[in-house]
Amino acid sequence: MTDDLLHLAVALDGTGWHPAAWREPDARPRDLFTAAYWAEQVLEAEHGLLDFVTVEDSLALQSDRFDTPDERTDQVRGRLDAVLIAARIAPLTRRIGLVPTATVTHTEPFHVSTAIATLDYVSTGRAGWRAQIARPAENAHFGRREPTPFRIEDLAEPSVQATIADFFAEAADAVEVVRRLWDSWEDDAEIRDAATGRFVDRDKLHYIDFDGRWFSVRGPSITPRPPQGQPVITALAHSTVPYRFAARSADVVHVTPRDAADAATIVQEIRSEQDAAGRADEPVHVFGDLVVHLADSPAEASARKARLDDRAGVEPTSDAVTFTGTAAQLADTLLDWRSAGLSGFRLRPATVPHDLQEITRALVPELQRRGVFRTGYEASTLRGLLGLPRPANRYEGASAP
């Protein structure tokens, strides 16, 4: 994918991605469960002209452990529903994309499709969805299936690999159902002609008749086709099986390379999977994820991180590289990694508001000075910002049931 400008998003999670972020002097843990708190973060991101924000979510409490809940009381626990946050914030924003996380493993795709379609209407075309599979701790909360516990240390075991493959195959089916439901109304299905008494053209509503291993969904949706036609779908991927899922199902793939060489290897694998899925001609973005600690000098950034680590009692581990330094140094890193084939980045601010403001008020101007980031929003929809065309409806012209 060719694009002269860098794409930039931020991942919002509570008071920040560092577990001690809530103890910073400028943190606002008492406001964490208010709409105003989230509105201020998203409006700050929009002030920085970012493409979109993602909002983290899960069907289990946050935990230091991959497989089970922990007993910690010194870290943020509890969160608001990400889709509902996005719907509340949408009318307060004008251009930035809103991409909440919704777990596919225990959420019916019909519900996801209507929720994200509704968000696309509320935001007038700026909705997305980060599709995520469940972790073991989440599975015990639901009666859909027997929970399959496993530890992160067991990921290489064949039985665990088979379980993970099943989760991602289910996720791929869920995304397919959601996409079909978004297309189950043609764009001009609503007539709304009071004189003739016809509100809808029934010939332009379609059954999707999906019948698979995990889902049997007839359709059509209860919500007309979203303004974008297909809201943007994103997915986080770390290895071959999720790369395959994301290359088949997503518009934006979030990845966690260790350096530029690793990024090049990952991009090549995703492009191969995209080609194998028959999507070689479709634009699919690959965004690199980084956790960022930013300050005016490298020494100050390192001191801030050291203070947070000391409060946490340990240096946190992360699936993504942790960057510590200045906005100019981060800009150097982003441009180096972009040369490996990444079209954008999703930055995870270690603390809010400090690191979020460093992104919008220091990094963005630095990238603008280098001529690699927008100076104004050039489109009114998220697909437009990402250079993704509005897709044709797969059912248009088909006979109604």
What would the pLDDT profile of 74-110 be if each residue is shown by its tens digit?
999 999 999 999 999 999 999 999 999 999 988 999 9
The enclosing H or E element of 160 equals helix 158-182
Distance in angstroms (rounded) separating the CA atoms of residues 98 and 42:
9
Domain that holds residue 38: 7-385
Residue 179 lies in a domain: yes
Give 213's DSSP letter: S
2 confidence band (pLDDT: 50, 70, 90): very low
Residue 368 makes CB contacts below 8 A (sequence gap 6+) with: 374, 375
Q: Which residues of 167-190 are buried (b: 16+ CB within 10 A; e: fewer)?
A: bbbbbbbbbbbbbbbbbbbbbebb
Number of structural domains, the chain?
1
Residue 399 lies in a domain: no
Q: Are strands 232-236 and 52-55 parallel, antiparallel or unpaired?
A: unpaired
Residue 153 makes CB contacts below 8 A (sequence gap 6+) with: none
Distance in angstroms (rounded) separating the CA atoms of residues 255 and 257:
6
Per-residue pLDDT at 147 exceeds 70? no
**pLDDT value at residue 69:** 81
> Is the Cβ–Cβ distance between 38 and 89 less than 8 Å?
yes
**pLDDT average, residue stretch 184-198:** 94
Per-residue pLDDT at 312 exceeds 60? yes
Per-residue pLDDT at 50 exceeds 80? yes
**pLDDT value at residue 135:** 80
5 confidence band (pLDDT: 50, 70, 90): very high
Q: ∠ CA 334-338-340 to the nearest 5 degrees?
A: 130
**pLDDT value at residue 316:** 93
**pLDDT value at residue 144:** 64
Query: What's the sign of the alpha-carbon dihedral 20, 21, 25, 28?
Result: negative
Distance in angstroms (rounded) separating the CA atoms of residues 300 and 305:
9
For the chain, the helix, strand and coil percentages under 3-state DSSP, each to the nearest 5: 40, 15, 45
Residue 87 lies in a domain: yes
Kindly report, residue by residue over 212-251, the tens digit of the pLDDT. 999 999 999 999 999 999 999 999 999 999 999 999 999 9
Residue 121 lies in a domain: yes
**pLDDT average, residue stretch 181-204:** 95
Residue whose structure tokens are 């994820």: 289
Distance in angstroms (rounded) separating the CA atoms of residues 370 and 382:
24
Structure tokens at 6: 């860098």
10 strand-pairing partners: 53, 347
Q: Which of 133-137, 142-146, 292-296 has the highest mean pLDDT?
A: 292-296
Per-residue pLDDT at 145 exceeds 80? no
Residue whose structure tokens are 């100019």: 328
401 confidence band (pLDDT: 50, 70, 90): low
**pLDDT value at residue 164:** 86
User: Is 301 strand, coil or helix?
Assistant: helix
Distance in angstroms (rounded) separating the CA atoms of residues 395 and 205:
9
Structure tokens at 214: 């995990």
**pLDDT average, residue stretch 177-195:** 96
**pLDDT average, residue stretch 159-166:** 85
Distance in angstroms (rounded) separating the CA atoms of residues 169 and 364:
38
Residue 146 lies in a domain: yes
Q: What is the pTM of this model?
A: 0.95
Give the largest CA-CA distance in the chain: 72
Q: State yes or no: cis peptide before 158, omega within 30 of 0.
A: no
Residue 394 lies in a domain: no
> Is the Cβ–Cβ distance between 187 and 225 less than 8 Å?
yes
> How far is CA 120 from its chain centroid?
15
**pLDDT value at residue 160:** 79
Residue 1 lies in a domain: no
Kindly report, residue by residue over 320-374, the tens digit of the pLDDT. 999 999 999 999 999 999 999 999 999 999 999 999 999 999 999 999 999 999 9
User: Is 193 strand, coil or helix?
Assistant: strand
Residue 391 lies in a domain: no
Q: Residue 36: how many CB atoms within 10 A of its CB?
A: 11
Give 243's DSSP letter: H
Say which CATH number the domain at 360 has: 3.20.20.30
